[in-house]
Structures are given as structure tokens and as C-alpha cells.
Amino acid sequence: MTLKNLNIDKSWSLFLDRDGVINKKLDNDYVKHWMEFEFIEGTFEALKILGGKFGSIVVVTNQQGIAKGIYRTEDLELIHKNMLYELSYAGGRIDKVYFSPHLHSENHLTRKPGTGMALQAKKDFPIIDFSKSIIVGDSMSDMEFGRALGMKTVFISEKPVADSRIDFSFMSLIEFSIALA
């Protein structure tokens, strides 16, 4: 199956992980302040392309640094406000950001691979149909999240990864968006 065979139109929804997909991950650390947030090259152009293809685009991101006391919810909300502003200013679009502040060890429903953030998104955007949705992420928990909901999965990685949970693999969000164009 190719991406073109999916016939993606405005009835489709796109779920994006944040760290490693939209912005650069920090080695053994968390993005705690806007000054530490760095967009991955091509993200602005990618979200311009994707905004024209998908009816809804949401970010779903695990943020256990909040539960660890490393940064506050207010810090994260400021990062997201600035991220959305910059993307919008560049002509891209993200409709809403969902985050789970819970520790990995809590196995909270909202923490990926749990499906709570997607269920909240569906409540906020009733047009979302998980069978017509794609999750783009850089971890297996993102792929498991998508699989649990019946989504197509796109894995972002610099090296090829063979895993049955992955439908498509690309090196970056811009590479994925160009493949859809």
C-alpha cells in the first residue's frame, strides 16, 4: 500500500507527536522553555502542505517532565502557544495540542500508548474518524497508540525500522508531507 492509495482528503485527520517530529529532541532532557524549542528543518513547509490535505490536525504529546517537577504546566502551555503562533505565521496549521503530564509508571489512559488524548480530540472535533486518521511519531508508543485506534501509522526515523506496527516510514515530517503532495 502507498500513501497515494489512501485517498487522503479533508475527511481525514492527522495526529502528530511533538518531540522528534515537530521539534528537535534534547538528549536526556526535556524542552522546558521556549528558548529550548527548535523546529526541525522543513516543519513549516510540511505543515503548510498537510494543512491543505487534512480536515483536522492535532498534536498528542507525552510530557512527564511536569509530573517529575522539571517544568510546570504553564511553561508547557507557553511553549505550545508560541509553537502554534510561529506555525500559523508561516502558513501552517495545528488545530489543537493535547498533552499528558503523567509519569510513564502511572500507565495513565491519556499517556501514549493509551488512547485518552485521541478520545478527547474526537470529543472536541467530532469529524475525527480514527479509521481515516494517521499518527506520525518517532516512538513505538506512538505506533501502538495509532494501532489501538485503527489509524495508519507513520514512523519518523533516520534509519529504516522493520516493525509490524509501522505502516509507513520517513526520515522527517517534510519527507512525509512531500510523499502526500
Task: Of 151, 85, 93, 84, give the one whose Cα is nearest residue 117.
Answer: 151
Catalytic residue list contains 75: no
Whole-angstrom distance, CA of residue 34 vs CA of residue 46: 21
Whole-angstrom distance, CA of residue 160 vs CA of residue 117: 28
Catalytic residue list contains 17: yes
Burial of 18 per CB tally in 10 Å (0-12, 13-18, 19+) = buried
Direct distance between the N- and C-terminal alpha carbons of the chain, in angstroms, rounded to an integer: 16
Q: Select which of 9, 17, 29, 142 is catalytic.
A: 17
Q: Select which of 19, 75, 138, 142 is catalytic.
A: 19
Which residues are identified as catalytic? Answer: 17, 19
